[in-house]
Every structure is written in C-alpha cells, then in structure tokens.
C-alpha cells in the first residue's frame, strides 16, 4: 500500500501543479470574459474576435446577439464573438491618444 502511494505521488503532485498554474487561471479568464460579454450595452465600443471594430447599437438577449455599427454598416454578431482582451486594449490605446 505504501509503495502504491509513493508511485502515485508524482502524478498527484503534477495534477495539482497543472490545476493551479494552468486550469484555474484559464477558468477565471473564461468567467471574466463571459461576464464582460453579458455586461456590454448600447453605445459600447467593442472589438470582435475577427478584428472588426464597432459600436453596439442593439442587443438581443433572447438569442444572445448584438448589432454592431461599423463604417461599412450594421452587422449582427453573437455576443460570444466580442473579445474582452482586444476591446480593453483598444479602449486603452484610444484613451492614451486623446
């Protein structure tokens, strides 16, 4: 029994390290991204994961979509296509330019 525990200990330690350094931070990042996407509202300037920049002109909570106004016109996207990281970077860059 003691030898089995000694053999399994490195694997258990590896799993714990992976959890705290890789899995847990990724789960926190995903949770923050979902919260950001849920909190967007009309008038927010956002960047989509595809790189499209625009302003939200309408949100539809029933099907989880947003209508984005770009220079080319209005486009309907899924809320999940809004990139929290790219939007925050864009907002920071435009704030420093002004």
- 53 & 72 share domain: yes
- 21 & 55 share domain: no
Domain extent for 78 = 41-98
Per-residue pLDDT tens listing for the chain (98 residues): 778 878 889 999 999 999 999 999 999 999 999 999 888 889 989 999 999 999 999 999 899 999 999 999 999 999 999 998 888 888 888 777 76
Helices 24-39 and 84-97: crossing angle in degrees, nearest 10, is 70
Neighbours of 25 (CB within 10 A): 11
Q: What is the model's pTM?
A: 0.71
Spatial CA neighbour of 90 closest among 43, 59, 44: 44
- 14 & 61 share domain: no
- 30 & 18 share domain: yes
Which residues, in sequence order, are bridge partners of residue 59? Answer: 66
pLDDT at 69: 95
- 59 & 16 share domain: no
pLDDT at 98: 65
């Amino acid at each position: 029994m003691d030898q089995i525990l000694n053999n399994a200990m490195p694997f258990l330690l590896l799993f714990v390290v992976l959890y705290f350094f890789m899995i847990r931070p990724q789960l926190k990042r995903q949770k923050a991204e979902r919260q950001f996407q849920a909190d967007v509202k009309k008038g927010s300037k956002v960047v989509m994961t595809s790189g499209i920049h625009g302003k939200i002109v309408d949100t539809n909570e029933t099907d989880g979509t947003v209508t984005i106004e770009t220079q080319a016109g209005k486009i309907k996207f899924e809320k999940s296509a809004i990139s929290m990281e790219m939007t925050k970077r864009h907002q920071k860059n435009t704030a420093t330019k002004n």
